[in-house]
Amino acid sequence: MTGKTAAGGTCTCAAFGAMGIIGVYVALALAPLALAAIVAPQGNGLAAELGSGLALAGYAMLLMQFLLTGRFRTIGGRVGIDVILRLHQIAARILTVMLLLHPFIYWPSLARMMATPAFASGIVAWLLLVLLMAMALLRPHLAIAYEYWRASHGALAVLIALAGLHHALAVGSLSAAPALRWFWIALAALALYTLLHSYLVRPWLQLRDPWRIAEVRTLGPARWLVALEPENRALAFDAGQFAWLKVEPHPFTLRENPFSIVSAPGARRVEFLIREAGDFTSTIGALVPGTRAWLDGPHGAFTLAAAGGAKRIVMLAGGVGLAPCLSMLRAAAAAGDRRAYHLIFGNRCEEQIVPKDAIAALVPVLDLKIDYVLSEPPAGWTGAIGQMTPETLLPLLSSGDIAETVFYLCGPPPMVTASLRALAALGVPPAHIVTERFDYD
């Protein structure tokens, strides 16, 4: 999803949005510590205080993980869902260390505590957390489909939350305090609501707005255009946003994939530029027009609004990372935007420059400069040659007023990372960079 900062007034809102979300997260993580200090101000010794503190804050963070993955537009729409996903992954590592470590701080009495029946739920939660984190870190190496991994990940998280809730309410000198008990019950109920909303309420709402596959067309090597048309309402979205696509008879399925929208807002038809990369995308060519589909969206904050009042916009796209950039360029052309645009589009070979005709059609109606970058160019190629690295990009980026420019980056993580290095070498401040990335370690 979408991590961003930008120049102009929108940058300030985005920064406050991100800081606000992090602030609420930290406040909720610290809330049980504050309540514990109120109900038991005398303390129980350094080891007990430290062990209890890690457990209280860690379990609060665990319950908030459900909220971070709930795809709530009021959260992800302000800072981008990929920023929320990154926060989710970083917080998962931190809370795992906290929760796995906390029982060992009670080391002198750990064996006696583990032999107590009331601690059984805590032991179960601890072991399941080890399994959950191991599966999360090893996911790229596990030979299971993503939807099955996702189902197991969610099921384990629920079991850990429930076992942890029992442990929090049944064990310890603080568990009897009404304030803490109600805090855990309320936060667990919010996590449960998020789960029900994601897997039951949202799909039920999608039943009102089915879609149909309208067109499936190959554009180049492993590149496809998939177009959908609504049976009822069209999708209102901003150029640059994305949606989760389900091609199933019903929306109550875990088989879904996020794709950036390549078409411009306003039309009933929604188009996606998709690259074959395994699982669902390897079957794109077999999709039959007329097949029922479902969309969850729009999502994301990788939009022209992030540019604020910038006078010049530079877009660095790699592969199908072109999709949101092309959508924004089409929207800018339709709106008569007179700002200067510069598109730098990197691919392996010339056949992957798609849809080249759609890009070229924008030149007469926009102040648009285009640079194509190929790592394996054909004979006679006159464009830039190489990977999207600082060495390749710096000569293309050296002109223009950086103070009046916002840079959009979208593509494979290595390309985004290399592009960020190139912009840093140019002295571009982070507040002038907007990124979209859907893959993290």
Residues in the chain: 441
pTM of the model: 0.85
Q: How many CB atoms lie within 10 A of CB 52?
A: 22
Is pLDDT at 10 greater than 70 in this prediction? no
pLDDT at 62: 96
Nearest Cα to Cα of residue 309 among 3, 17, 12: 12
Mean pLDDT of the chain: 87
Exposed, middle or buried: residue 378 (CB in 10 Å: 0-12, 13-18, 19+)?
Answer: exposed
pLDDT at 270: 97
Residue ranges and CATH numbers for the domains of the chain are: 2-205 (no CATH), 211-299 (2.40.30.10), 304-436 (3.40.50.80)
Most confident among 135-149, 171-185, 275-289, 332-346 (mean pLDDT): 332-346
Average pLDDT over residues 375-391: 92
Q: How far apart are the first and last CA of the chain?
A: 14
pLDDT at 359: 95
Residue 71 pLDDT class (50, 70, 90 cuts):
confident
Residue 280 pLDDT class (50, 70, 90 cuts):
confident
Cα angle: 201, vertex 202, 206; to 5 degrees: 115
Whole-angstrom Cα distance, residue 196 to residue 295?
Answer: 18
Percent of all residues in the chain with a pLDDT value above 90, rounded to a whole number: 62
pLDDT at 1: 37
Residue 275 pLDDT class (50, 70, 90 cuts):
very high
Query: In sequence order, what are the residues at sequence separation of 6 or more whose Cβ sits closer than 8 angstroms to the Cβ of residue 319?
Result: 275, 346, 347, 352, 411, 412, 415
Instruction: Name which of 35-44, 82-91, 341-350 the model is least confident about.
Output: 35-44
Is pLDDT at 118 greater than 80 in this prediction? no
Q: What is the DSSP letter of 361?
A: T
Helix 9-39 and helix 81-101, axial crossing angle in degrees, nearest 10: 20
Whole-angstrom Cα distance, residue 233 to residue 345?
Answer: 34
Whole-angstrom Cα distance, residue 299 to residue 194?
Answer: 17
pLDDT at 441: 41
pLDDT at 6: 32
Whole-angstrom Cα distance, residue 188 to residue 171?
Answer: 17
Residue 2 pLDDT class (50, 70, 90 cuts):
very low
Classified as helix, coil or strand, 173 is: coil
Is pLDDT at 378 greater than 70 in this prediction? yes
Nearest Cα to Cα of residue 359 among 388, 337, 330, 321: 330
Who has greater pLDDT, 372 or 308? 372
Do the Cβ atoms of 419 and 393 come closer than 8 Å? yes
Torsion (CA) 264, 265, 267, 272 in degrees, nearest 10: 50
Amino acid at 366: L
Residue 80 pLDDT class (50, 70, 90 cuts):
confident
Query: In sequence order, what are the residues at sequence separation of 6 or more whose Cβ sits closer than 8 angstroms to the Cβ of residue 176?
Result: none
Residue 17 pLDDT class (50, 70, 90 cuts):
low
